[in-house]
């Protein structure tokens, strides 16, 4: 798949996005500036250069200049519209971010696997350290608003979908020793395949420019090749 084919399948250009929302481009940028909706994930600077939120500047072939947003932004815009009626304009972003972080914290508290995969968030008694949990939620929200999850999550239209990707990456990182593991026992291969299946479901295929730098290559495809799968 060419880079632009990938863009057209998973992303929407900024001017077209504003038309889809039936608002001006300046209004769209205002929503982004206030933190009401995520920013673009890709900025195609010229036909041979793109800047991504996650991997920085990369070479491409025959790109069409513009800023490209995950199509999931349409979901977050719909959510923002519901808040617009209740709060002043300068408070909309703050309210949505508070809701995101609260939902994030509440959701991961219900996931038993989080304790195993993210032990740094728990004290010696296995209880969440609230200050660290809030920091994790705030960091995730910031990454969400930066457009980063548009690059790496298949459908980042909910907090739970973003958490699923975080869990999938952490599990693969653990099983593969951050992609460095060379030999696997039968049990370890089984654990890898289970983790790989879930990762495959929630992670983007990545564009031709991103893929060489991606977790999909390092944690999944390179290990599959090593195991001859």
87-109: average pLDDT = 89
Instruction: Provide the pLDDT for residue 189.
Output: 92
Instruction: Provide the pLDDT for residue 175.
Output: 94
Q: Give CA–CA dist 198/89, Å, rounded.
A: 39
pLDDT band of residue 58 (cuts 50, 70, 90) is: very high
Q: Give CA–CA dist 67/43, Å, rounded.
A: 4
Tell whether the model's pLDDT for residue 229 goes beyond 70: no
β pairing state of 42-46 and 49-52: antiparallel
Mention every residue, 6+ apart, whose C-beta is less than 8 A from residue 184: 192, 227
Q: What is the token pair recorded at 182?
A: 């060379």
């Amino acid at each position: 798949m060419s880079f632009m084919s990938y863009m057209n399948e998973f992303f929407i250009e900024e001017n077209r996005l504003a038309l889809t929302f039936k608002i001006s481009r300046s209004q769209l940028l205002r929503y982004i500036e206030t933190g009401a909706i995520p920013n673009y994930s890709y900025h195609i600077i010229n036909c041979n250069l793109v800047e991504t939120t996650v991997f920085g500047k990369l070479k491409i072939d025959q790109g069409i200049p513009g800023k490209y947003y995950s199509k999931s932004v349409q979901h977050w815009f719909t959510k923002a519209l519901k808040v617009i009626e209740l709060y002043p304009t300068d408070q909309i972003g703050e309210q949505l971010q508070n809701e995101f972080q609260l939902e994030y914290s509440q959701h991961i508290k219900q996931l038993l696997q989080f304790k195993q995969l993210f032990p740094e968030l728990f004290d010696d008694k296995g209880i969440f350290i609230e200050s660290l949990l809030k920091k994790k939620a705030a960091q995730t929200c910031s990454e969400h608003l930066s457009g980063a999850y548009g690059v790496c999550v298949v459908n980042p239209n909910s907090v739970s979908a973003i958490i699923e990707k975080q869990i999938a990456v952490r599990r693969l990182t653990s099983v593969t020793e951050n992609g460095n593991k060379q030999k696997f026992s039968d049990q370890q291969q089984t654990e890898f395949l289970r983790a790989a299946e879930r990762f495959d479901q929630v992670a983007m295929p990545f564009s031709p420019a991103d893929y060489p730098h991606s977790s999909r290559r390092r944690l999944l495809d390179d290990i599959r090749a090593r195991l001859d799968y």
